[in-house]
Amino acid sequence: MPDQPRCLPRIVAGQFRELSQADLAFARQIGCSGVTVNKPDFDSPAWIAFLNKEFTAASGPRAPTRRWSALDLAQLRAAVEAHGLALSCIEGVPRNLLDKAMLGLPGAEEQIEDFKATLRAMGQAGIPVLGYNWIPDGVWRTAKAAHGRGGALVTGYDDAVGQRVATGGLPTRSEAQIWANWEQFIAEVLPVAEAAGVRLSLHPDDPPVPVLDGVARIFRSEAAFARAMAFADSPYHGLAFCTGAFGQIGAAPMMAALRRFARAGRIHYVHLRSVHGALPRFEEAFIDEGSVDPVAVLRELLEAGFDGFVIDDHVPHVEGDTVWGHRSRAYATGYIAGVLRTLSQPQGATG
């Protein structure tokens, strides 16, 4: 009997901080099955305008949001589904809604309670995944205009520069303190996620260096994620596996971590992007170059029976593109789709 085609991972458009009807139409047009939304601020004028266009009952004054309501989330999901797409995931809450919990500051318990309420609201709205990170000082880059292939604009990081920067905006925190804060957080919120039917997906530090600006970064290696998965051992807790962030350590360690966690069924979704170089210095790259081999990544996911979704994540800024990167994302998404289709063909198939 000939080999049967394998079920392919879904391809999803991501990195939307705000949405428009045109964005949703574009995602559908390039073949995506869904979208993710990145740290939505439902108080922003753009989000209010977007939701009000779909649901006039949502208009009027709003109190500042500390926790997302089931109504806001249900309206967002319906607006996405109207374009034939799924709202596959919300990738993180705004940092100011979780910073005190990450740093162990007064107000941490209130933020954790708000996070629990958001999980319950997501469950009520039928949104299945909430990505999160434990990076109180966010993603760092020391260059945002380094020239990539053909003059495309890419971001880069040089640790010799990064370690000299001290903003003074955050209190110093050791690795032990950041681990203790995370363990308290996940012990409290994971039972709520399980009850709500919402999977929590942990993203690695970017860049994955031991400390920046006096604050330790703990999720920077395969060993750290193994510790986290053992501590919060549940199908409702897993990884948002970023090949770019893991790849900043090196291609071989990235593939080793991918293989381990994919085969254990702990990867919920994948950010598929590439980099040139590795720490202490790297630059982001197009998906078809650099140290990350997308064919090897997708083959490993298929062989592991991965049933999540893949997004292109960061992309270089190409000539004539938008801020979000419609041209570059169409290229990356098409590349991923082509690789997946080729890998899914039964052995010996010619077309």
Give yes or no for residue 351 having a pLDDT over 70: no
Q: In the predicted model, what is the mean pLDDT of residues 310-317?
A: 96
Give yes or no for residue 54 having a pLDDT over 90: no
Q: Residue 40 — pLDDT band, cuts 50, 70, 90? A: confident
Q: Tell me the DSSP string of 267-313.
A: EEEEE--EEEEETTEEEEE-TTSSS--HHHHHHHHHHTT--SEEE--
Q: In the predicted model, what is the mean pLDDT of residues 200-218?
A: 97
Q: In the predicted model, what is the mean pLDDT of residues 227-256?
A: 98
Overall fold of domain 101-344: TIM Barrel (3.20.20)
Q: In the predicted model, what is the mean pLDDT of residues 140-165?
A: 94
Q: In the predicted model, what is the mean pLDDT of residues 193-208?
A: 98
Q: Residue 80 — pLDDT band, cuts 50, 70, 90? A: very high
Q: Return the pLDDT at 143.
A: 93
Q: In the predicted model, what is the mean pLDDT of residues 182-205?
A: 98
Q: Average per-residue pLDDT in the chain?
A: 92
Distance CA 59, CA 43 (A): 12
Chain centroid to Cα 73, Å, comes to 18
Q: In the predicted model, what is the mean pLDDT of residues 275-300?
A: 97
Give every CB contact of residue 288 below 8 A, 6+ residues apart in sequence. 274, 294, 335
Q: Return the pLDDT at 115.
A: 96
Q: Return the pLDDT at 219.
A: 98
Q: What letter does residue 30 receive in the DSSP assignment?
A: T
Give yes or no for residue 140 having a pLDDT over 60: yes
Give yes or no for residue 349 having a pLDDT over 90: no
Distance CA 17, CA 28 (A): 18
How many other C-beta atoms can be found within 10 angstroms of the C-beta atom of residue 150? 9
In the chain, what are the domain boundaries?
101-344
Residue with tokens 């990145």: 38
Give yes or no for residue 181 having a pLDDT over 60: yes
